[in-house]
Amino acid sequence: MAPTIESVYLGNGGLSEGNNKRSNRFVKATWKNNLTALVVDNVELCRVLERENLRAYGVETVAVETGEAAVELVASGSTFNLIFIDIYLPTMSGPEAVRQIRAMGVRSKIIGLTAIITEKDEQDFFAAGIDEFYEKPLDPDWFVPIIREVDNQI
Amino acid sequence: MVGTDLRQQLRNYIQSSHEQGILDETFDRVKNLESDGNPQFLSEIFSMFCHDAENGIAELARFLDEPVIDYENVSAFAHQLKGSSSSVGGNRMVLACCELRQACSNKTKEGCFEAFDKVKREYCILRDNLNFIAQMEKTILTNEARRRSQ
């Protein structure tokens, strides 16, 4: 059964008139599967917003601050359909974390994130094993089709 | 009705911020992440942003105060500031950060100083905008709670 999108996201900056502001505005995506995501970003603001954006679209999301934490989580057996990871992380870089995660045999969709895409960063990150590379912030125009694709492939 | 007037005022204010290019559609998405379960969400997000931005600006000031500018570090902080400001929908501040990064690529001292001044100006405008929005929301929620209890 194809996933259904019950309503379209409305870019309305006004306040809700009633209860449950979030549900009035967000896509009530009904995915075929229970989808999970891992967000890896050392900037708290970005990490929180990335996590909340994904949760708003029905993806159960965990967020960590470092590449080491991401690698440790995956090594401990946690599985995620999607991984969103910033390129610039302290100590263990995004590309290094991705290399280690891929070396464990993980085939999840990995999306690299950055504030500004440069050619070199793009080459490095794809060489490490990401599937896609986007500039922040998360935009439903590009991440919803990715979620849909992952949902359809399960 | 007062409540409706305040809501309309807030909508008008946000619309005006959009028209001036201070905020973009990302701001609307952030605002819509707020739920009844966490009415403080926006305030928390704005606080995080201001904290990060002020730290970033302080670091930039430090690097730009050096006799020899470390363009790599200035660029790195401009990159980080761009990421934070784009996450809250601070369109004009994003553009200012990009200009600073470009000045670093060109390794022009004057260019960096000018672009940094612009970053600081746009940050102040964005901060004041976000603070006003957060304050208006708080007033609206307080008034609604008061009306419900009457």
Give which of B129, B120, B96 is closest to B17, Cα–Cα: B129
CB contact under 8 Å between A53 and B25, yes or no, is no
Give the pLDDT band (50/70/90) at residue A28. low
Q: How many CB atoms lie within 10 A of CB B48?
A: 20
CB contact under 8 Å between A21 and B32, yes or no, is yes
A-B contacts (CB, under 8 Å): 89
Residue found by looking up tokens 């934070």 in the block: B84
Reported ipTM = 0.91
Would you state the pLDDT for residue A116? Answer: 93
Q: Determine the distance from the C-alpha atom of residue B6 to the mean position of all C-alpha atoms in its chain, rounded to a whole number.
A: 22
CB contact under 8 Å between B87 and A49, yes or no, is yes
Nearest chain A alpha carbon to B87? A137
Would you state the pLDDT for residue A21? Answer: 42
Q: Supply B119's token pair.
A: 């970053």
- What's the rounded mean pLDDT across residues A28-52? 93
The string of DSSP letters for chain A reads ---EE-S------SPPSSS-HHHHHS--EE-SS--EEEEE-SSHHHHHHHHHHHHHTT-EEEEESSHHHHHHHHHTT---SEEEEES--SSS-HHHHHHHHHHTT--SEEEEEESS--HHHHHHHHHHT-SEEEESSP-HHHHHHHHHHHHHH-
Using the predicted structure, report yes or no on whether residue A8 has a pLDDT greater than 50: no
Would you state the pLDDT for residue B144? Answer: 86
Give, as one character, the DSSP assignment of residue B38. B
Strand order in the sheet with A82-86: A60-64, A36-40, A82-86, A109-114, A132-135
Q: Is the peptide bond before A137 cis (omega within 30 degrees of 0)?
A: yes
Cα separation, B80 vs A116, whole angstroms: 9
Nearest chain B alpha carbon to A44? B48
Would you state the pLDDT for residue A19? Answer: 33
